[in-house]
Structure 1
């Protein structure tokens, strides 16, 4: 079940990165609102891996004297999100029967 949940988490991340740049703590709270309990020790390796794969890009901004990394979606991430949407819709149709 953990691997499936992590797949859903990655789709959530891509979706929100498409909506607007976000920082890690915000994403932890957002995922929590969807029932995913995630620590920074779990989330940040996922974000870094997605960045390494070219799905996310990072911009550092100083906010209230703290440097925060803001993640946004790349063109490659957009393609993967669209593919995930199609596959999710297809799966939803199948499991509703």
Structure 2
């Protein structure tokens, strides 16, 4: 397997593991799916629509997001926003993310010290 393919596969797994955190962090204000895709993309977090839309439905079913249809424009859009339970989970996941980041950094420092 080529190095580029290997890297791409591992990056995809890493992103897959963090997409919930990225969505919760982004949905502090209401956004519809395509706008969320664009926001994530601009931040350097590329997510496929076939991944995002089922995830949004799952997070809503879990009570982590709320949604509301906006039918005032020509094209109806479903807007998602993080719920109070989603905010609480976001705080917990963010703390864990920082712990993991610190652990990885510490492991890297230990390697250079040995």
TM-score using structure 2 length: 0.74
CA radius of gyration, larger in: 2
| Residue deviations 1:24-47 (CA, integer Å, cap 9, x gap) | 001111222244443322211010
TM-score using structure 1 length: 0.86
| Aligned counterpart for 1:11 among listed residues 8, 21, 35 | 21
- 1:22 corresponds to which residue? 31
C-alpha root-mean-square deviation of aligned residues, in Å? 1.6
Unaligned runs of 5+ in 1: none
| Aligned counterpart for 2:82 among listed residues 44, 66, 73 | 73
Equivalent-residue separation in structure 2 for 1:42 and 1:28 (angstroms): 10
Equivalent-residue separation in structure 1 for 2:104 and 2:26 (angstroms): 25
| Greater than 6 Å deviation, 4+ residue runs | none
Structure with greater strand percent: 1
Judged with a 3 Å threshold, the aligned counterparts in structure 2 of structure 1 residues 52 and 95 are, in CA distance, closer, same or farther, namely: same
Equivalent-residue separation in structure 1 for 2:101 and 2:45 (angstroms): 20
Number of residue pairs the alignment of both structures matches:
96
